[in-house]
């Protein structure tokens, strides 16, 4: 008998007893010893790949987590899952695989850990979809687990980042810069490893996961390169052993109150609209009821205080330099904005974790005081109306105004809209409508980063709005509304809009309406024909058949 036998609930089923000799033989070939068979096994899911700078360094972080697990008396076992690159795929057909990858990642972590009998998990993610994918996988398994964020990229020369390149394309189309200048920005904007540098989706989700209690304090606010991130990974490997001893699992941590904390931190940071989609999906994985209405109610009492890109001035690395999100969370806790009694992966409560956190240094203006916010309430605005009966999500900081009236300019898909913006077809006063890009209709719910960046680059950021049943990159800004449900492929009202229809978007009344009578919309519906999908086999076809609506998190196991 081993002192650790009570911690080996799953691995013992794989390696104990004479009948498990074949399995042990296989494991000896990958380095297991007799002593290792007596230890709890910690699976370490690495999203390392050379397809994107966000994840190119994660193999080294996974090795640190393995060392930490081994140092704590467990046996660390590294395995890989996939990642894709939104920054590379955006604006192409390949982007249809992006949101799908979240489900593939969650499925693959569940499959490997479930099959191999890991007693606990460390997952290491560094890009938009692999972070919620990791959390969903860990939540389904409900074994002691910690998430490690791969860290943020450092700014490129001239304070540039990937959004600088996307917007340069629009600037070139407008005639403000030439192709050589675009190439100069392209060459310096991505200086090395790490996730996109503003409060885009990766940094948003890392912050949300830390606020949720599923990563170690500080994990979300570290540069991808440097000793802090290596130490974070090592300590995560060690800490899973402590979670095993405490029998503290994701469902103990990912409670309703913890999700409320995550939502309020995302709002304070002016985070990505994708956080709505992913938090809904993550809550579904642990059977916590969360709806769009919860974002509305919490948004009424949650100010935006971070002056971070894309709508603000600073990058994540500059927030890292002044202490990350821990001082912000301490401020929020002291102001009664967070639930302090929720458990976290430290084994302590959030309040205990924050007890000794120092405030930001004097003179910084990355994080503003609550009495002088960027916006007094949430920038994540849930809209409803005859154009989005089941809801839509807008990202409106107030810098682009709070209301937009315009005439519809309709495109079936992202490519046509991008061409229309770049060639001058889109004019001031237009509401660009991009449809058949929803979870089912795309399929895959592509991000509209190329069109929104082109709008900004063309200087139309305050003069046009863009609405879609697709979604947006965390790098998108301007007057944009996504996640419109029901989506066009399901015959939602967005499928019935025609060029020239008058559309009103009002962030204060939270309404999005098309000025067309119910009778006219009903008549148009009789003429509507669902387009036939070109995808008949493979992952996109399976996804389209099983995915729920964006207002439900676009998950693939809701109606099984």
**Could you tell me if 57 and 225 are in contact, meaning their C-beta atoms sit under 8 angstroms apart?**
yes
Give 21-32 pLDDT, tens digit per residue: 999 999 999 999
Q: Quick one: tokens of 110?
A: 């569940």
Domains of the chain, residue spans = 40-154+192-354, 155-191, 380-552
Distance CA 501, CA 409 (A): 8
Distance CA 399, CA 415 (A): 27
Distance CA 137, CA 49 (A): 19
Look at strands 41-46 and 465-468 and give their pairing.
unpaired
Give the model's pLDDT for residue 410. 98
Please state, as a whole number, how many other Cβ atoms lie within 10 Å of the Cβ of residue 536: 8
What would the 3-class secondary structure string for 63-111 be?
A: HHHHHHHHHCCCEEEEEECCCCCHHHHCCCHHHHHHHHHHHHHHHHHHH
**Could you tell me if 497 and 385 are in contact, meaning their C-beta atoms sit under 8 angstroms apart?**
no
**Catalytic one among 11, 46, 98, 473?**
473
How would DSSP label each residue in 166-221? HHHHHHHHHTSS-HHHHHHHHHHS--SSSB-SSSSHHHHHHHHHHHHT-S-TTTTS
User: H or E stretch including 114?
Assistant: helix 98-116
Buried b / exposed e along 437-470 (16+ C-beta atoms within 10 A): bbbbbbbbbbbbbbbbbbbbbbebbebbbbbbbb
Give 192-236 pLDDT, tens digit per residue: 999 999 999 999 999 999 999 999 999 999 999 989 999 999 999
Distance CA 385, CA 379 (A): 19
Q: Quick one: tokens of 466?
A: 């863009």
**Could you tell me if 455 and 173 are in contact, meaning their C-beta atoms sit under 8 angstroms apart?**
no
Give the model's pLDDT for residue 560. 84
Distance CA 348, CA 368 (A): 28
Give the model's pLDDT for residue 2. 67
In the DSSP assignment, the letter for residue 338 is S
Please state, as a whole number, how many other Cβ atoms lie within 10 Å of the Cβ of residue 252: 18
User: H or E stretch including 431?
Assistant: strand 430-435
Give, in order, the Cα–Cα distances in Å from 103 to each of 74, 151, 176, 288: 29, 22, 41, 18
Percentage of the chain modeled with pLDDT above 70: 100
For the chain, the first-to-last Cα distance in angstroms comes to: 42
Decide which of 3.40.50.1110, 3.40.50.1700, 2.60.40.2250, 3.40.50.2300 is the CATH code for 40-154+192-354: 3.40.50.2300
Let me know if 283 is a catalytic residue: no
Distance CA 44, CA 77 (A): 6
Residues 6+ apart with CB under 8 A from 486: 389, 390, 492, 493, 549
Please report the sign of the dihedral spanned by the C-alpha atoms of residue 172, residue 178, residue 183, residue 185: negative
**Could you tell me if 83 and 161 are in contact, meaning their C-beta atoms sit under 8 angstroms apart?**
no
Distance CA 497, CA 165 (A): 32
Q: For the chain, give me the number of helices (H) and strands (E)?
A: 21, 12
Reported as half-sphere exposure (CB side, CA atoms, 13 A), residue 322 has a value of 19
Class of domain 380-552: alpha beta
What would the 3-class secondary structure string for 270-308 be?
A: CCCCHHHHHHHHHHHHCCCCCCHHHHHHHHHCCCECECE
Q: What is residue 417's three-state secondary structure?
A: helix
Question: From first to last of its 560 residues, what are the pLDDT tens digits of the chain?
Answer: 567 899 999 999 999 999 999 999 999 999 999 999 999 999 999 999 999 999 999 999 999 999 999 999 999 999 999 999 999 999 999 999 999 999 999 999 999 999 999 999 999 999 999 999 999 999 999 999 999 999 999 999 999 999 999 999 989 988 999 999 999 999 999 999 999 999 999 999 999 999 999 999 999 999 999 899 999 999 999 999 999 999 999 999 999 999 999 999 999 999 999 999 999 999 999 999 999 999 999 999 999 999 999 989 999 999 999 999 999 999 999 999 999 999 999 999 999 999 999 999 999 999 999 999 999 999 999 999 999 999 999 999 888 789 999 999 999 999 999 999 999 999 999 999 999 999 999 999 999 999 999 999 999 999 999 999 999 998 888 899 999 999 999 999 999 999 999 999 999 999 999 999 999 999 999 999 999 999 999 999 999 999 999 999 999 999 88
Confidence (pTM): 0.97
Please state, as a whole number, how many other Cβ atoms lie within 10 Å of the Cβ of residue 24: 17
Give 116-165 pLDDT, tens digit per residue: 999 999 999 999 999 999 999 999 999 999 999 999 999 999 999 999 99
């Amino acid at each position: 008998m081993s002192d650790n036998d009570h911690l080996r609930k799953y691995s013992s089923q794989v390696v104990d007893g004479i009948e498990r000799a074949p399995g042990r033989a296989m494991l000896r070939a990958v380095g297991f010893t007799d002593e290792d068979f007596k230890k709890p096994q910690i699976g370490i899911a690495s999203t390392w790949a050379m397809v994107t700078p966000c994840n190119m360094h994660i193999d080294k972080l996974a090795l640190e987590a393995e060392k930490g697990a081994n140092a704590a008396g467990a046996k660390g076992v590294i395995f890989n899952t996939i990642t894709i690159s939104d920054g590379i795929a955006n604006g192409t057909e390949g982007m249809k695989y992006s949101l799908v990858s979240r489900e593939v990642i969650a499925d693959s972590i569940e499959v490997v850990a479930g099959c191999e009998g890991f007693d606990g998990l460390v997952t290491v993610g560094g890009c938009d979809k692999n972070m919620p994918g990791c959390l969903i996988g860990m939540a389904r398994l409900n074994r002691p687990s910690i998430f490690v964020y791969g860290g943020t990229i450092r700014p490129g020369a001239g304070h540039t980042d990937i959004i600088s390149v996307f917007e340069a394309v629009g600037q070139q189309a407008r005639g403000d810069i030439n192709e050589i200048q675009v190439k100069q920005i392209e060459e310096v904007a991505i200086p090395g490893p790490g996730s996109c540098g503003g409060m885009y989706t990766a940094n948003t989700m890392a912050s949300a996961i830390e606020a949720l209690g599923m990563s170690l304090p500080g994990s979300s606010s570290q540069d991808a390169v440097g000793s802090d991130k290596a130490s974070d990974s090592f300590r995560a490997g060690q800490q899973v052993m402590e979670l095993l001893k405490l029998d503290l699992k994701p469902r103990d941590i990912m409670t309703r109150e913890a999700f409320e904390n995550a939502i309020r931190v995302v709002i304070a940071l002016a985070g990505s609209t994708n956080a709505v989609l992913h938090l809904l999906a993550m809550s579904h994985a642990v059977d916590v009821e969360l709806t769009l209405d919860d974002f509305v109610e919490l948004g009424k009492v949650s100010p935006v205080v971070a002056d971070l890109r894309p709508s603000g001035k600073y990058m994540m690395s500059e927030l890292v330099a002044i202490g990350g999100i821990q001082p912000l969370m301490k401020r929020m806790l002291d102001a009664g904005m967070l639930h302090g009694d929720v458990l976290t992966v430290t084994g302590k409560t959030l309040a205990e974790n924050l007890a000794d956190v120092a405030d930001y240094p004097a003179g910084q203006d990355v994080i503003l005081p609550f009495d002088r916010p960027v916006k007094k309430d949430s920038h994540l605005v849930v809209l409803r109306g005859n154009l989005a009966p089941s809801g839509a999500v807008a990202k409106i900081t107030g810098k682009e105004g709070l209301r937009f009236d315009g005439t519809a300019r309709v495109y079936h898909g992202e490519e046509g809209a991008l061409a229309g913006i770049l060639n001058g077809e889109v004019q001031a006063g237009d509401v660009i409508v991009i449809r058949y890009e929803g979870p089912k209709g795309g399929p895959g719910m592509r991000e509209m980063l190329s069109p929104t960046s082109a709008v900004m680059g063309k200087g139309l950021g305050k003069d046009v709005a863009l609405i879609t049943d697709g979604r947006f990159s965390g790098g998108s800004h301007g007057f944009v509304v996504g996640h419109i449900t029901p989506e066009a492929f399901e015959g939602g009202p967005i499928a019935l809009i025609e060029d020239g229809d008058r559309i009103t978007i009002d962030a204060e009344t939270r309404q999005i309406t098309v000025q067309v009578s119910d009778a006219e919309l009903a008549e148009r519906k009789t003429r509507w024909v669902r387009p036939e999908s070109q995808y008949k086999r493979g992952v996109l076809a399976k996804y389209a058949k099983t995915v729920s609506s964006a207002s439900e998190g676009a998950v693939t196991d809701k109606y099984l």
